[in-house]
Amino acid sequence: MSDYALEDLQAVDERCRTIVTGELGFEAPDVVYHLVPAEEVYYAAANGLPARYSSARWGARFDAMYGRYRRGEERIYELIFNTRPVHAYLMEGNSLVGQTLVIAHCLGHGYVFEHNAWLGAVDRQIMPRVLSAAHRISDYMAQHGRERVEGLLDACHAVAVHQPQAQLIRKAGTSEPEHRPAEYDALFPEEVEAERRRIAEERDALRRRFPREPEQDLLGFVERHARALADWERDVISIVRSEQGYFLPQMRTKILNEGAAVLVHQEVCQRLFLPTNQYWEYEQLNAGVVQPHPGPVNPYNLGIALLREVMRIATEPDDEDRERWGWAGEADPFERVRTVLRSYDDEALVREFLTPRVCERCRLFAYERLQRDPRRIRVSSREADDVRAALVAQVSTSGIPRVEIVDADFGRRGELLLDHRHEGVGLDPEYARGTLVELARLWGKRCVARTIQGDDAQRRMWFAGSPDGSSEQGFGEPR
């Protein structure tokens, strides 16, 4: 049982907000807190958003997450959603110290939600559309059968993450080739005419190519151009695609966002002058949040280490820091952090501020898989430059392979041809074949993906999936 009332939480919120805005200078937006049971917290966490459509995928995720909570293996202390206004869940049963940390933590998230340029693409008015989408999908399940709609949702989920990651960057389109007159063209009429014919053929081929530019938005392309889809199926595809688009910018700012939240809750709780027993409890909770993970990088741990490094450079730089950063030693640490939070994403944050100090503090190292047994790894380097390169490669792609549609009439059979751009993230054969089967079910015809084996650009492979569930793979050019 909790030893506090709602009025106590309201007082904590007011005290935390006064410190955040008045002493730290973080202008956080309004946050609406919901004190809810653990089941509701885990249900919303499994779904990704409250009141989202019913799906067996969310149910399986809830069972796994809530089971770990019941066994004492994990505990979600806070859950926050980037909406306007921001909504956050506080779990019933948390102590007042735990709720204090969570409230301060959420104010840090709120500042990033409101001010970070990379999150400007997030639809913060998404909740009414989420609720409407849930009702429509429920109606489709009643009309067409739950199994059929669940199958469509599974196919959409398999490829929904394949959308442009850097949504603030727009690549210039391919310009049409054209002949540029030269001074001595009149002396070589035959060569000039041949060149003009070649350019005309290239221009005609470019105009016939569909899509005109490689398309990274797989679901969007299917929604617009698949011929066999019913209207309700296009609506389901649109729902999954738009809701996935809500999460993508936040995936690019995970480390920065969690670092900001930890920085705020640490600074606030230190300024609250908690009694000794409560401060000891806070330190235990904080240590559990920021401790390094033995496997994947803990974004809380790395995020706060990077932001603390920014503050150190602003106040206590060494000679190397002064050469690299013009503001080193001459900036207000919180103002410099706010500047970073407003304009950086994870890639920029790691690329600029992952120093040897941060690597040592977070116990980071680069590793490689053993060729004789890919399931095993070994440490390949502890040098900051190598760790930085490996980590930048991870955060710049979020671990998602870059796959683009390059031909929507492959083999003149209406099949999809996709190219895998090898940018440090390869294709797992089993996963690739399974994903192509799901894409083929949406497209209505066979889908083929070209790639390379390992890092050998000369060793070309291809995978294919068909709407009937069959898949294949081979070497060389796909057939």
Q: Which residue has the tokens 């060569």?
A: 191
- Paired with 87 in beta bridges are 32, 81
Supply the DSSP string of 24-57, one letter for each residue.
Answer: S---PPPEEEEEE-HHHHHHHHHHSSTTPPP-HH
Name, in order, each residue with C-beta under 8 angstroms of 85's C-beta and a sequence gap of 6 or more. 29, 30, 31, 32
CB atoms within 10 A of CB 476: 10
How high is the pLDDT of residue 168? 42
- Residue 411 Ramachandran class (φ > 0 left, ψ -120 to 50 alpha, else beta): left
8-state DSSP, 280: H
Q: Tell me the domain boundaries of the chain.
A: 6-116+253-290, 299-397, 402-475
| CA–CA separation, 44 and 7 (whole Å) | 25
Cα 244 from Cα 224, distance rounded (Å): 17
Write out the H or E segment, with its range, that includes residue 98: helix 96-115
Query: What letters, b where the CB count within 10 A reaches 16 and e where it falls short, cover 348-360?
Result: bbbbbbbbebbbe
How is residue 471 written in tokens?
Answer: 């898949």
Positive or negative, the CA dihedral 214, 218, 221, 227 is: positive
Tokens at 281, concatenated = 């409890």
Burial group, residue 189, by CB count within 10 angstroms (0-12, 13-18, 19+)? exposed
H-run or E-run covering 236: helix 231-251
Q: Residue 101 in contact with residue 265, Cβ under 8 Å?
A: yes
Q: How many CB atoms lie within 10 A of CB 391?
A: 21
Q: 208 to each of 32, 197, 408, how far by Cα in Å?
A: 53, 17, 11
pLDDT in 10s for each residue of the chain, 479 residues: 468 899 999 999 999 999 999 999 999 999 999 999 999 999 999 999 999 999 999 999 999 999 999 998 888 888 999 999 999 999 998 999 999 999 999 999 999 999 999 998 899 999 999 999 999 999 999 999 999 999 999 999 999 999 986 544 445 455 556 667 777 666 777 777 787 777 676 666 555 667 888 999 999 999 999 999 999 999 999 999 999 999 999 999 999 999 999 999 999 999 999 999 999 999 999 999 999 887 789 999 999 999 999 999 999 999 999 999 999 999 999 999 999 999 999 999 999 999 999 998 998 877 666 566 656 655 556 677 888 888 888 888 888 899 999 999 998 899 999 999 887 788 889 999 999 999 999 999 999 999 976 555 567 899 999 999 999 999 988 98
Give 38: exposed, middle or buried? Use CB within 10 Å, 0-12, 13-18, 19+: middle
For residue 421, give both structure tokens. Answer: 């751009």
Distance CA 32, CA 82 (A): 11
Residue 233 phi, psi (nearest 5): -70, -40
Is residue 280 within 8 A of residue 95, CB to CB? The reply is no
Strands, sheet with 78-81, edge to edge from the N-terminal-most edge strand: 31-36, 86-91, 78-81
* pLDDT number for residue 48: 94
What is the per-residue pLDDT for 78?
84
Buried b (16+ CB within 10 A) or exposed e, 128-149: eebeebbeebeebbeeeeeeeb
Q: What is the pLDDT of residue 191?
A: 78
| Amino acid identity at 256 | L
Phi then psi dihedrals of residue 330, to 5 deg = -130, 25
Question: 447-453 and 415-421: which strand pairing?
Answer: parallel
Dist CA 111 CA 223 (whole Å): 35
What is the sign of the dihedral through the CA atoms of 448, 449, 450 and 456? negative
Residue 478's identity, in one-letter code, is P
